Amino acid sequence: MTATTRTGTRTGTRTGTRTGGTARTAAGTKARATGPARTALPGAPAPTPALVVVAHGSRDPRALSTVRALLGEVRALRPALPVHLGHIELNEPLLPDTLGALGDAEPAVLVPLLLSRGHHVTRDIPEMAGAFPARTRVAAPLGPHPLLVDALHARLLEAGWPARVPADGAVVLASAGSRDPQSRAGTARTATHLAARLGVPVLPAYASAAAPTVPEAVRALTARGYRRVAVASCFTAPGRFATECAAAAPWIVSAPLGTHPAMARLLLHRYDEALRTVGTAARRAALVP
C-alpha cells in the first residue's frame, strides 16, 4: 500500500514535505519547506510587522495563563496589530515554531518579555530568529523604563505599601538574576528609579546566578536599621523564582507584574521603538553619498 502526498490531490508516495508550510521528516523533526514566497504587489503598502512577544517559559501553569492574558491586553490596546507568542523554552508555542508559522515574507518585531538585557536577549533570541528567513528585528527588553517602575510601584501599593513613607522602610527588588553584567546593570538602574519614586532605599537582589540573594539583601538592610523591608517582585509572571523570593520577605511582598496595564503599554512601546530605530537608520543610510 502506498502512502499519500499532499499536493492538491492524494496520489503518489509520501515525500515528507508540504508546499509553503512546515513539514515533518521521517525522523519526526520539523523542517522548513521551500514554498513560494509572498511578495507585495508593486505600489502596495508594506505589511504591518507582527508583534511577537518572547516569553521565557515556566513549568508553573500560572505563568502561561498570565502571559496569554497579557497578550490579550496588548490586542485590546491595538486591535489591528498581529500579536503572537513564542517561548524560549519549557512552554509551547516555542519561538522557532512561531517564526516558522509566520511565513518567509512576513516581517515581525520580537519583543522580549524580559526585564533586563542578558544572554537570552543578546544571544538566544537573535540566534533563533536568524535560523528563519522571515524578516525580523529584536527589540530591547522591557527594563529599565519608567513604565516598568510604574508597574512595580503599583504592585507595592496593592500589597500594602503605605502612602506615607515609613522612616524605617526599605525595599528589596527581587529579580531572576543573570551572570551577564548587562542584566545586573539594568536591574540596578531599575532599583535606582524605584528608589527615587518611593523615597526609600531599594536594594537589587537575585534568585539565581548573581549576588546578593533576597535573604542576604534583607539582612543587609535590617543591619542598617531598616525594620520594615518590603520585597518588590520584578517578575513578569508567577513561577519558582517569584515564589522563593516571596517566601524570604519579612514584611510585605508585591505580586508579579503580570497583566498590570503598564506592562501591555510597555510591550507596545518597545515594538514602536524598534520600528522607529530601523526607520531612522534607513533614512540615514539614504543620505550617505
Q: What is the pLDDT of residues 85-122, one digit of tens each?
A: 999 999 999 999 999 999 776 899 999 999 998 889 99
Q: What is the pLDDT of residue 47?
A: 79
Q: What is the pLDDT of residues 223-237, one digit of tens each?
A: 999 999 999 999 999
Beta strands in the chain (DSSP E): 5-6, 10-11, 22-24, 30-32, 50-55, 83-87, 108-112, 136-138, 169-175, 202-206, 228-233
Cβ contacts of residue 271 below 8 Å, gap of 6+? 51, 81, 109, 111, 139
Q: What is the mean pLDDT of the chain?
A: 85
Q: Are 88 and 125 in contact (CB under 8 A)?
A: yes
The per-residue pLDDT for range 137-174, each reduced to its tens digit, is 999 999 999 999 999 999 999 999 998 999 999 999 99
Looking at residue 2, its pLDDT comes to 39
pLDDT at 131 over 70: yes
43: confidence class by pLDDT, cuts 50, 70, 90: low
What backbone phi and psi angles, to 5 degrees, belong to 175?
A: -135, 175
- Reported as a pLDDT band with limits 50, 70 and 90, residue 133 is confident
pTM for this predicted structure? 0.81
93: preceding bond cis by omega (within 30 degrees) = yes
Residue 205 has what pLDDT?
98
User: What pLDDT does residue 4 have?
Assistant: 38
On the question of a cis peptide bond just before residue 133, with omega within 30 degrees of 0, the verdict is no
The average pLDDT across 272-285 equals 67
